[in-house]
């Protein structure tokens, strides 16, 4: 039980923490000048030199391995609905860490998506 | 771009699943794992799946370079709805009412988020100047 809770914490915090780090990195890199192969390659090159990117990758890997372990212990219809909590945790992170302005409409949308993913995986 | 992200992630996952099914269940022993490793490295389906997942990663990073994380993240869940529709259309799977309600909730949620401003933080000053 304790192991399961710990793994869910790693799964949710790892994926949202990793994605927030990558978002932060990408925002500081700036958007590619045009969506053509060459500007995209230059953009990727700059992204790969960002420390935030390399902080995000191991966090996402941690979350991925937690997911694999959880799936070997419990059915998908339990693991995915619980992991859908990461939509709420991610939105909180976006608001308080990244300083994004999360409007009421966006909050309602996120909660609907969270409930929807839980239902799809449980059904 | 968000659409490319969702499509690439789904096709990539499906191809990996297809490739691993072709290889069969992996024995959890040293020779079994070594055999599985050789099979996956030489499987075209697996490489194609990895290529699509790379495509997902690049479009994800590009989107995040200008849009909010709290805008992009819920849109990614649209994949669950697409996957259910694909399963019904191509695999003729039966879908429970609870799952349909979930698909509808996801679609309404994504539409709601899609109505909000994609970017609420200030643009980085150096963007679009270089390259």
Model confidence, pTM: 0.81
Q: How far apart are CA A54 and CA A46, in angstroms?
A: 12
Asked if residue B27 and residue B53 are part of one domain, the reply reads yes
Asked if residue B79 and residue B51 are part of one domain, the reply reads no
**Domain membership flag for residue B130:** no
Q: How far apart are CA B21 and CA B35, in angstroms?
A: 15
Give the range of the structural domain holding residue B23, as residue numbers without chain letter. Answer: 1-65
Asked if residue B108 and residue B77 are part of one domain, the reply reads yes
**Domain membership flag for residue B129:** no
**Domain membership flag for residue B49:** yes
Q: How far apart are CA A69 and CA A74, in angstroms?
A: 9
Q: Does B68 touch chain A (CB under 8 A)?
A: yes
Asked if residue B75 and residue B51 are part of one domain, the reply reads no
Asked if residue B75 and residue B61 are part of one domain, the reply reads no
CB contact under 8 A, B111 and A109: yes
Contact A14, A52 (CB under 8 A): no
Asked if residue B83 and residue B30 are part of one domain, the reply reads no
Chain B residue closest in CA terms to A27? B65
**Domain membership flag for residue B21:** yes
Per domain, the residue ranges of chain A are: 2-122
Say what percent of chain B tops pLDDT 90. 13
Asked if residue B52 and residue B74 are part of one domain, the reply reads no
Asked if residue B72 and residue B61 are part of one domain, the reply reads no
CB contact under 8 A, A94 and B70: yes
Q: Does B74 touch chain A (CB under 8 A)?
A: yes
User: What pLDDT shows up at residue A96?
Assistant: 93
Q: How far apart are the CA of B42 and the nearest CA of chain A, in angstroms?
A: 24
User: What pLDDT shows up at residue B126?
Assistant: 43
Asked if residue B110 and residue B94 are part of one domain, the reply reads yes
> Which string of DSSP letters, residue by residue, matches B6-24?
HHHHHHHHHHHHHHHHHH-
CB contact under 8 A, B105 and A26: no
User: What pLDDT shows up at residue B23?
Assistant: 75
| Total tally of structural domains belonging to chain B | 2
Q: Nearest CB to A110: which of B74, B84, B127? A: B74
Q: What are the φ/ψ torsions at residue A31 (nearest 5 degrees)?
A: -75, 155
**Domain membership flag for residue B30:** yes
Q: Which residue has the tokens 């995209």?
A: A40
Q: Chain A to chain B, count of Cβ pairs less than 8 Å apart?
A: 161
Asked if residue B59 and residue B114 are part of one domain, the reply reads no
Write out the two tokens for A26: 């990408």
**Domain membership flag for residue B125:** no
User: What pLDDT shows up at residue A36?
Assistant: 83
- The ipTM value here is 0.85
Closest CA to B122 of B61, B58, B68, B60: B68
User: What pLDDT shows up at residue A76?
Assistant: 82
Q: For A87-100, how does the pLDDT look when each residue is reduced to its tens digit (9 = 90+)? A: 999 999 999 999 99
Best A35, A109, A118, A121 member to test B by mutation, with max B CBs in 10 Å, is A109
Q: For B91-129, how does the pLDDT look when each residue is reduced to its tens digit (9 = 90+)? A: 778 888 999 999 999 999 999 998 888 888 875 444 443
Lowest mean pLDDT among B9-13, B51-55, B71-75: B9-13
Q: Does B110 touch chain A (CB under 8 A)?
A: yes
**Domain membership flag for residue B131:** no
Question: What mean pLDDT is predicted for residues A78-87?
Answer: 90
Cα–Cα distance list, A37 to A41, A44, B58, B88 (Å): 6, 10, 11, 36
User: What pLDDT shows up at residue B124?
Assistant: 47
Question: How confident is residue A104, by pLDDT bands cut at 50, 70 and 90?
Answer: very high
Best A19, A106, A115, A121 member to test B by mutation, with max B CBs in 10 Å, is A106
Asked if residue B52 and residue B28 are part of one domain, the reply reads yes
Asked if residue B88 and residue B57 are part of one domain, the reply reads no
């Amino acid at each position: 039980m304790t192991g399961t809770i710990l793994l869910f914490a790693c799964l949710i915090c790892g994926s949202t923490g990793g994605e927030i780090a990558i978002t932060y990195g990408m925002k500081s890199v700036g958007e590619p000048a045009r969506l053509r192969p060459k500007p995209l390659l230059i953009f990727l090159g700059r992204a790969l030199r960002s420390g935030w990117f390399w902080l995000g990758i191991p966090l996402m890997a941690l979350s991925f391995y937690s997911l694999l372990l959880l799936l070997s212990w419990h059915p998908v219809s339990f693991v995915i609905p619980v992991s859908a909590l990461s939509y709420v945790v991610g939105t909180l992170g976006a608001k308080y860490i990244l300083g994004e302005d999360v409007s009421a409409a966006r909050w309602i949308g996120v909660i609907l998506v969270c409930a929807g993913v839980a239902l799809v995986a449980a059904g | 771009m968000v659409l490319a992200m969702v499509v690439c992630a789904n096709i990539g996952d499906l191809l990996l699943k297809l490739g691993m099914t072709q290889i069969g269940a992996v024995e959890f022993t040293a020779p079994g794992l070594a055999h599985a490793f050789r099979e996956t490295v030489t499987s075209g389906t697996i490489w194609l799946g990895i290529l699509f997942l790379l495509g997902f990663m690049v479009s994800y990073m590009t989107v995040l370079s200008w849009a909010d994380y709290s805008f992009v993240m819920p849109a990614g869940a649209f994949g669950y709805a697409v996957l259910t529709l694909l399963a019904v259309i191509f695999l003729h799977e039966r879908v429970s009412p609870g799952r349909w309600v979930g698909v509808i909730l996801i679609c309404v949620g994504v539409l709601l988020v899609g109505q909000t401003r994609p970017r609420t933080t200030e643009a980085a000053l150096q963007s679009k100047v270089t390259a």
